[in-house]
Chain A
């Protein structure tokens, strides 16, 4: 009875990477001595492989919820599917990825279960029998430590905040859960998925060049793209260029938007609003190029260049080209 149950999803056919990150979170809770299980949501034959992947990472029992409505974005269907799992497993801790669906499901599930709730966590651990979660607050300027004594506890974990753990295979089993969802009764239903040309691998790239308001317009992005291509990286943006429509929303890096942790992040014309810094502070090396030496971005940057990006970036491109040539 009880245990840690992760909400694993294969809403797009294959196991989400974030589900494995949750397995990492569950491992961090090992001191509580709880068994780890997973509710696996999705539809079709892909679920079998997804379940094996969970077993391979140490998840014993996988409760398979297979239903055609368990597809991208169907939060109400996910909630409906989780009810019987939760009734059966009676988990002490539920871990949910704070993605499009998880952001809606985690709080609503917590309300229904009268659970303790911590969302957008970047770290989970156990201490003195309690769940301890850490999350960024005040736009990433501070880190809050929350102690969740209540059981059950529902925690949502920010995508890409936790590492995918190394495999630790177990002989698990799959239990099928009878899912019945009345499509017509769902108060919200996804009618269409509009895929956006995401900047290729923004979240996975080891080098990311980010552009901000200081670019002055969409034209500046060409320079950043050229530099990114030379360095084998991806281009992203802070909120102002996204809001202004210079770049697709999927390029946005920050609190609202993608969290990145590349080896090298180069922020160009980005003042360093807390909203943006929250999404890049995990980068190993941060370089900032900005005209304003007082820009807050320099307080998180390791290397700083005060200057006009229109002069600095072309010089950088030339220099990198030179290097590649030799």
Chain B
């Protein structure tokens, strides 16, 4: 067992920490108060190689492992969970399934564009009638004149507004449930794909969340991702990686809470003493630090397992469950510790409070994580 990060991992951490502190943090509050797509940050992130962290060098990527990815995602989320959401989708939900399931031609076509930031990607799984029970999805894919024709509606698609490439899950086979689903690489320029409603959200506001509408959307036959009827396999593998990315996001938000609280406890005085002189505050900070570390270690372990090519579904779910609940809890404590200042926009903790909540919801709610973990515990797959 070795808990030390390698020289490269440490340098990546230091680099992204500096990038986040100098270029993201100064505008993080503004991106939340006046939401807009942070094109300049995403371009800079691309130039540093943060949009294709795990993509091999032959496709222009950085060729890093999954552990490097979670280190990067934590640092980004520490500064802005919204910016991180955009970037983690690109890495874990778009590049990752392409790397694992795409044909060499598909990889050559899409990965360089995604890595360079020329294209942003999005991931279309959830539907109005298929949220936690994703495999109940109804979007249909039919073969017509040697092409696939997709019809349906996808909801809550992160990056949906800006993305030029969508990974879309649709029912292509007569088989019921998970076995009838296939995944498709759908370019925004294909006829019949459109952005529907763009949601207003509680948090992570600078990332778009949109409805994607498919109306007789024509997709070339070669844009099938993975085999026919293999969509569930693609989705489940991708979910493991996605959850690890959200766990890292949650760790980053929780760390932001802790760091702001430590600073505030040093400056803010009550009853003639700084807050940090109060034992109640000290204990709260100790609990936060401990839970954050536990969440981070679970996240690192899940990433490490996945890097080794081992099954990590339960471990990814555990990491995401603990990290997201830690983030929400830490944000709750942070707002309380800040008192009135925790409730106003001049200070960042109310933003962390709003941002933290999503980590308990997307990529599977806490309830779904518990379901996944309990199946593992009870030996049912």
User: Which residues of A come within 8 Å of B, CB atoms?
Assistant: 291-294, 306
Contact = CB atoms under 8 A, between A and B. Distances in A.
Contacts of A291: 267
Nearest to A290: B267
B274 A293 contact: yes
Contacts of B274: 293
Nearest to A306: B267
Residues of A contacting B: mostly: loop
A291 B266 CA distance: 10
Contacts of B267: 291-293, 306
9 contacts: A291-B267, A292-B263, A292-B266, A292-B267, A293-B266, A293-B267, A293-B274, A294-B266, A306-B267
Nearest to B26: A216
A306 B266 CA distance: 11
B30 to A, nearest CB: 13
A294 B274 CA distance: 11
A22 B58 CA distance: 64
Nearest to A307: B267
Contacts of B266: 292-294
B201 to A, nearest CB: 28
Contacts of A292: 263, 266-267
Residues of B contacting A: mostly: helix
Given A293-B267, A294-B266, 7 more contacts: A291-B267, A292-B263, A292-B266, A292-B267, A293-B266, A293-B274, A306-B267
Interface string B269-302: 0000010000000000000000000000000000
B116 to A, nearest CB: 29
Nearest to A217: B26
A165 to B, nearest CB: 46
Contacts of B263: 292
A291 B263 CA distance: 10
Instruction: Give the 7 A-B CB pairs with smallest separation, nearest first.
Output: A294-B266, A293-B267, A291-B267, A293-B266, A292-B267, A306-B267, A292-B266
Nearest to B274: A293
B281 to A, nearest CB: 15
A293 B267 CA distance: 6
Nearest to A291: B267
Interface string B234-274: 00000000000000000000000000000100110000001
A294 B276 CA distance: 12
B22 to A, nearest CB: 10
A20 to B, nearest CB: 44
B226 to A, nearest CB: 50
Contacts of A294: 266
A200 B263 CA distance: 37
A149 B28 CA distance: 59
B160 to A, nearest CB: 35
B18 to A, nearest CB: 14
B268 to A, nearest CB: 10
A291 B274 CA distance: 13
Contacts of A293: 266-267, 274
A292 B274 CA distance: 12
A244 to B, nearest CB: 10
A306 B274 CA distance: 12
A291 B260 CA distance: 13
A229 to B, nearest CB: 30
A216 B310 CA distance: 48
A291 B267 CA distance: 7
A166 B266 CA distance: 49
A193 to B, nearest CB: 33
Interface string B303-331: 00000000000000000000000000000
A154 B266 CA distance: 48
Contacts of A306: 267
Interface string B66-108: 0000000000000000000000000000000000000000000
A313 B134 CA distance: 58
B118 to A, nearest CB: 31
Interface string B153-190: 00000000000000000000000000000000000000
A321 B270 CA distance: 32
A294 B266 CA distance: 8
A12 to B, nearest CB: 39
A200 to B, nearest CB: 32
B345 to A, nearest CB: 16
Nearest to A294: B266
A292 B276 CA distance: 13
